[in-house]
Amino acid sequence: MLPGDVTYTSVDTLGLRSHLLHADCDKSYACIIQKKNICWLPPSKSQPAVITPKCPAPFTPECFMQPQCRADALGTNKIDYMRVTCSSPPSGSSVIIDEYKFEIKTGYTYANNESVWKTYNCPLNGSARNAPACLIPMSALAQHPYGLKDGAFIKGRVTATPRAGTGPTVTSACNANGAQMRMAPNAISLTSTQTSNEAKVCWNNPFYQPSINNKIDLFWSNQNEAIGSTDISAFANGNSQDVTDVAVNCIKIDLKDGWTTFLAVANNGCTHVKTTISIQLTDCPTCHHQGASKVSAHHGADSGSNWSASKTEEKPGNSFGGNANAVVINSSGKTINWDSKSQTSGSTSGICRVPRAVEKPVVTLNADSSATIAWDSKPLSSGEFDHSYEVAWDAGSFWEEAPRQDVTRVKKSPYVWSDLNPLVTYRFAVRAANDCGAGPFSESNFVVVP
């Protein structure tokens, strides 16, 4: 009991020590020992003794976050991770942690502009009683529900909840040393326009944000083993140039007899993406060639459903400046032959074209905090070029060029995206894709989750 209370709680003396050990720390308790006497004599009582159990020293967890670039499972590329390590109570401490909770500061805010924090499951050996220790792929932090953008500073915090009576609950910020998000490059594509014995080779910018680590290398070779290859060793006897800072994303290359194969490699300092295109020297003054290889944004592996090389041979005589016979080879080995004479009759069968833009989708918020995205899904390509749709999303801001995060690839409309967070604006867009590549994204539409 506390000093000053009128009554005392009777406790068996054999359990007195245990009772005091389970008392609240830093609170004073008064104890009186009472001894029963024989016969008619009243019980004798000792003088009150005041006892104040001391609280153990509070435990403040330490948390460290360090970016790491590690090889993927196949060893063919690298992936950006964030390594998280947190501390446990020191040896001999009386503090016993019942639960750790590790959280990431997301890219979203509530209506009052307060930042949204979300738990990331980061337990050592799968137990919440162990201090957090894990590797977090940065690509996971770009996805729902974290939504961090390329270049954003990554912030985390850890909360340690001790067993009752062993100390207070403490939350501390993680030391990330200014660690920033680094997204894998987008797919890179190549186009070539031939003028006489010269080719103008152009490429897109695959990076989300400017960075001193971003680099684009262009390789070209006349060797047969380089045709359709994304292996840099096949270009060992060729030429190369760092084209990262080329202002217009185009350079002119003198062509030699036979085939010339170009390979573009974009690297953000960790993950790389590649694409290749092969062209042949002809007497066509304005021949245009296009090759695109979409590469996984997470692993950098060549996708089998997109073009990894295109070889074209064109001669004068049609509306394109000459009869053109093209052989387009994708990385899965599928070959399509195209005779441009079909152009003179208005036929489009066999031409490798990316789909046109999709109309603005209709987005409907459902009662279960999901959104239904619907769009006009009329066929966008013909012949042997099968098509699908890519649905993409962003939250809380307008897109500058294209949606940030792919949700899924589907065959037709509509698509339902679930588990939306409250008080967040979600924007969705759709684009069509076929074996030749992906078309432009549609205009975005949005819903606001109440």
Q: Looking at residue 317, what is its pLDDT?
A: 32
Q: What residue type is assigned to position 97 of the chain? A: I
- Residue 388 corresponds to which tokens in the numbers above? 């699908």
Residue 97: CB atoms within 10 Å: 22
Q: Looking at residue 195, what is its pLDDT?
A: 73
Residue 359: CB atoms within 10 Å: 12
Q: Looking at residue 208, what is its pLDDT?
A: 87
Residue 332, C-beta contacts closer than 8 angstroms, at least 6 positions apart: 304, 305
> Of 339, 336, 323, which Cα lies nearest the Cα of 383?
336
Q: Looking at residue 220, what is its pLDDT?
A: 92
Domains of the chain plus CATH, in order, are 13-51 (no CATH), 63-173 (2.60.40), 188-345 (no CATH), 362-448 (2.60.40.10)
| Cis-peptide, bond into residue 132, ω within 30° of zero | no
- In the block, tokens 């797919």 appear at 187
Q: Looking at residue 24, what is its pLDDT?
A: 67
Q: Looking at residue 8, what is its pLDDT?
A: 56
What distances in angstroms separate CA 162 from CA 60, 169, 262, one per listed residue? 11, 6, 61
pLDDT tens per residue, the chain (450 residues)? 444 554 556 665 554 444 555 566 677 777 777 777 777 777 777 777 777 777 777 889 999 999 999 998 888 899 999 999 999 998 888 888 899 999 999 999 998 889 999 999 887 666 888 899 999 999 889 888 899 999 999 999 999 998 876 778 899 999 888 788 999 998 888 888 877 678 888 898 899 888 899 999 999 998 889 988 889 999 988 889 998 888 788 988 888 888 889 999 999 999 999 999 888 876 554 455 555 433 333 333 333 333 333 333 333 333 333 333 333 333 333 333 333 333 333 333 345 667 778 888 888 888 888 888 888 866 554 444 567 888 887 766 555 555 566 667 788 888 888 878 777 788 888 888 877 777 788 888 888 887
Q: b/e per residue, 265-286, with b = 16+ CB within 10 A?
A: bbbbebbbbbbbbbbbbbebee
Strand 405-410 with 387-395, pairing: antiparallel
pTM: 0.56
Q: Looking at residue 299, what is its pLDDT?
A: 32
- Residue 400 corresponds to which tokens in the numbers above? 């500058």
Query: Could you write out the three-class secondary structure of the chain?
Result: CCCCCCCCCCCCHHHHHHHHHCCCCCCCEEECCEECCCCCCCCEECCCEEECCCCCCCCCCCEEEEEEEEECCCCCCEEEEEEEEECCCCCCCCCCEEEEEEEEEEEEECCCCCEEEEECCCCHHHCCCCCCEEEEEHHHHCCCCCCCCCCCECCEEEEEEECCCCCCCEEEECECCCCECCCCCCCEEEEEEEECCEEEEEECCCCCCCCCCCEEEEEEECCHHHCCCCCHHHHCCCEEEECCCCCCCEEEEECCCCEEEEEEEEECCCCEEEEEEEEECCCCCCEEEEEEECECCCCCCECCCCEEEEEEEEECCCCCCCEEEEEEEECCCCEEEEEHHHHHHCCCCCCCCCCCCCCCCEEEECCCCCEEEECCCCCCCCCCCCEEEEEEEEECCCCCCCCCEEEEEECCCCEEECCCCCCCEEEEEEEEEECCEECCCCCCEEEECC
Q: Looking at residue 236, what is its pLDDT?
A: 87
Residue 352 — left, alpha, or beta (φ > 0 → left; ψ -120 to 50 → alpha)?
Answer: beta
Q: Looking at residue 263, what is its pLDDT?
A: 93
